[in-house]
Amino acid sequence: MSFKHLFTPHEIRGHEIRNRIFSTAHQTILAKNGSPTDEMAAYHEARARGGAGLIIMESSRPYADDVSESYFIDSSTDACIPGYKKAADAVHKHGTKVFGQINHGGRISRMHNGMNLVSHAPSAVPDHRFHCMPRVMSVEYIHTIINAFAAAAGRMMEAGLDGVESTASHGMLMAQFLNPLTNHREDEYGGSPENRFRFVGELIAATRKVVGEDKVVGMRISAEEIEPDGLDADGWLDICRRLNDEDGLDFINVTVGSMMGLGGSIHVVPPMAIEHAYTAPKAGAINAVVDKSVFVAGRINQPQLAEQVLADGQAHMCGMTRAMISDPEMPNKAREGRLDDIRACIGCNQACIGHYHMGVPISCIQNPQSGRELSLEVTSQATDKKTVIVAGGGPAGMKAAAVAAERGHRVVLHEASNKLGGQVLLAQSLPGRAEFGVLVDNLKREMDLAGVEVKLNSPINRALIDQEKPDTVIVATGAVPFKPDIDIAEDVHAVDVWQVLKGEVNPSAEVVVADWRCDWVGVGVAQKLALEGSHVRLCVDGMHAAQNLQKYLAWHWTGELHKVGVEVIPYARLYGADGDTVYFQHSTSGEPIICEGVDTLVVAQGHAPVTTLEHELMGCDADVHLVGDCLSPRSAEEAIYEAEMAARKI
């Protein structure tokens, strides 16, 4: 494919960005004590080395009262400057530009040291996600915050960054001033569109004054906040027209969503069920009415998509953040025409934003090196080349085979069935989960490039190992549905999830799904059966449906279940079933929960490891490694990480 637009330079205020691919600001949990670290510099350098034109570093807090965690960058003091300089130097040596980002959450506030911070906002309007009741900002405090933003920008310029972006997106403080539903002030900062814009206009002017005329200044906005008390697309178009008149502003970075509530928060990092590049038409509408450079981000995970956005005139730069978390070399591979070699992001959200919400450093389920650039350096060649047999063609087996072969070993992967993929093949059959199957395509390509020999319909046993005499065996035999020791009468139509997904059974009109794990399995099969016409009661052995999924995924799926009429019953531990009745025990009270009139019970009680080969190989001459679900049933992230680590040890 010819990329006529994606790899042309873009100039902003005299700064030439070498191509149209950029990494948006995103929290990495790689800062320490409020400052960028060597780990953060290495993380951004990997994307610069991989060909990104621009990197916008993660959100920093310019004023001490909004710094809630030590892993947030605190740009309110000069202590951040050395860390920023490390990152800037690391990125610049690869020809990539780097901007900083400055943000204040306003009424969207978090806890610090176990206690809620005092949140500040234009007016005393609570949010619907963190449930903060903010303190009304005085005019003096407003001026303090404006000066703090400008001072933080100055520190970034002192560190050698090329520009700075302020955040009016996702319902943050600047957005709260712009919105008549959250700004009820009657002074010079409220009451009219001009007055509501004043805070933003003064902030831009103050920033420009500090950074000078040769640095880039931009603003991130949500083209639509998708919340009941959020600004709609027309409201933001009017604001962008005002931004266009600000001489000190160089670009508008467009996204959607808001952290003011659960529904809008889903769009902060939209999951795989949401359409690719769905934000681009909204950016296009803004681009049609402004003269500034327009950036856009939102599910643009392939260079072909980005090229189309640019060709359609919807934006000048495309944010491809998760695409480069999954594959930092994506820009280089696209430029060189190696599209099949790109490890495409699948929008699972598990180890990127999912890690952030757990307070641990960023990574990627497909690429364990992401976020671990210093501890997991580029795969090295093995000094002693060995013969390796991998048993199992799911994600763990495929990743182990690819990495071992990449290191120079002779690798043969045996898969008992006629297809590679393992449980991914089941996951991709659920509503909104088709893209998960791309994981298999990516791993197949990694194996092809590394030279792995694959044998399908080839189960492994001890006799084969004794015959082939490999140096190493990697056991990745996976798991099967767990059958709990529960009294289910013979007259009950009880089936497991795998039977449903494989089309081996026909659930009836009234279905109960007994969901122990509270992850994608229960909610996915509940939605699938409801869409197929069943009335579904989803009984979860937890506080709520999808409890163990990343927040945005859980909230998205909860909304989808509501749309199709799935009844969710929480705190329900499966106890037994007879006739048309399923019995649960309330997880905390111990009292019974009884579901009557049930035609089909779908048992989703997790998985049991397949350990047959492990036991057969005890005492054999080969070095044996266990990876993935056969070790302990968990998720694809653990399976792929363990596979990578095992293959690196051979």
For residue 110, pLDDT over 80 is answered with no
Q: Are strands 10-12 and 15-17 parallel, antiparallel or unpaired?
A: antiparallel
- Bridge partner residues of 115 (DSSP): 112
**Confidence class for position 111, pLDDT limits 50, 70, 90:** low
**Confidence class for position 285, pLDDT limits 50, 70, 90:** very high
- Bridge partner residues of 538 (DSSP): 513, 568
CA–CA gap between residue 605 and residue 364 (Å, rounded) = 27
CA–CA gap between residue 517 and residue 522 (Å, rounded) = 8
> Residue 121 has what DSSP assignment?
E
Domain with CATH 3.20.20.70 in the chain: 10-337
Q: The domain 387-480+609-649: what is its CATH number?
A: 3.40.50.720
For residue 536, pLDDT over 80 is answered with yes
Burial 353-373 (b: 16+ CB within 10 A, else e): bbbbeeeebbbbbbbbbbbbb
Stated as kind and residue range, the H or E segment containing 41 is helix 38-49
Mean pLDDT over 494-520 rounds to 96
pLDDT at residue 65, as a whole number = 76
Which tokens is 155 given? Answer: 């520190």
DSSP code string of 560-579: HHHHTTPEEE-SEEEEEEET
- Bridge partner residues of 97 (DSSP): 54
Q: How many CA atoms lie within 13 A of 313 on its CB side?
A: 6
The yes or no reply on domain 487-605 and CATH 3.50.50.60 is yes
| 21 contacts 331 by C-beta, under 8 angstroms | yes
Q: How many CA atoms lie within 13 A of 63 on its CB side?
A: 21
| 153 contacts 84 by C-beta, under 8 angstroms | no
Closest CA to 413 of 635, 634, 647: 647
Global confidence as pTM: 0.97
CA–CA gap between residue 531 and residue 283 (Å, rounded) = 33
Mean pLDDT over 396-402 rounds to 98
> What mean pLDDT is reported for the chain?
96
Burial 73-102 (b: 16+ CB within 10 A, else e): bbbbeeebbebbbbbbebbbebebbbbbbb
pLDDT at residue 512, as a whole number = 98
Residues 6+ apart with CB under 8 A from 353: 26, 268, 269, 550, 552
Which tokens is 356 given? Answer: 């952030």
For residue 93, pLDDT over 90 is answered with yes
Task: Give the class (CATH, top level) of 10-337.
Answer: alpha beta
CA–CA gap between residue 172 and residue 29 (Å, rounded) = 20
**Confidence class for position 245, pLDDT limits 50, 70, 90:** very high
Domain with CATH 3.50.50.60 in the chain: 487-605
pLDDT at residue 277, as a whole number = 98
- Sign, CA dihedral 422-424-429-430, equals positive
| 345 contacts 367 by C-beta, under 8 angstroms | no
For residue 605, pLDDT over 80 is answered with yes
**Confidence class for position 247, pLDDT limits 50, 70, 90:** very high
Which tokens is 515 given? Answer: 């969901």
